[in-house]
Amino acid sequence: MDAEKRDRGLLRVDTEECKGCGLCVEACPPKVIRLSERLNHYGYRTAMYAGTGCTGCGICFMACPEPGAITVLRAATRKAAGAGLLDKNIEGASQCASN
């Protein structure tokens, strides 16, 4: 078993839509979202994904009051050829939720 957890999802934050309320930061079970130090054109510190650890649960999306600010992609799983093992395919990720 891998000591390092594999991402099951991918989080995208539209920094032009995010108002920096922090609700997604508080709602994220694996705690992989934080507020950035940089400001967007409105002067808000926007949410940002840490880069690893997303489970693809979509709770951040549901907590976000700003339509279009957060998109969550779930990693598609497929059987590895002949091995019976699950493998993720981030490039072929399916969108779990969108505003």
Under the banding of pLDDT at 50, 70 and 90, the label for residue 5 is: low
Does the structure show a pLDDT above 90 at 85? no
Q: Which two tokens stand for residue 6?
A: 């594999």
Instruction: State residue 77's pLDDT score.
Output: 65
Q: List, as one string, the DSSP characters of 75-86.
A: EEEEE-TTT--E
List, in sequence order, every residue forming a beta bridge with 86; answer none if it has no partner: 79
What's the residue count for the chain? 99
pTM score: 0.70
Q: Mean of the per-residue pLDDT values for the chain?
A: 80
Please name the residue ranges forming H helices in the chain: 23-27, 59-63
**Other C-beta atoms lying within 10 Å of the C-beta of residue 14:** 16
Q: What is the pLDDT of residue 72?
A: 93
Q: Are 71 and 61 a contacting pair, CB within 8 Å?
A: yes
Confidence of residue 60 (pLDDT cuts 50, 70, 90): very high
pLDDT at 36: 95
Is the confidence at residue 4, as pLDDT, over 70?
no
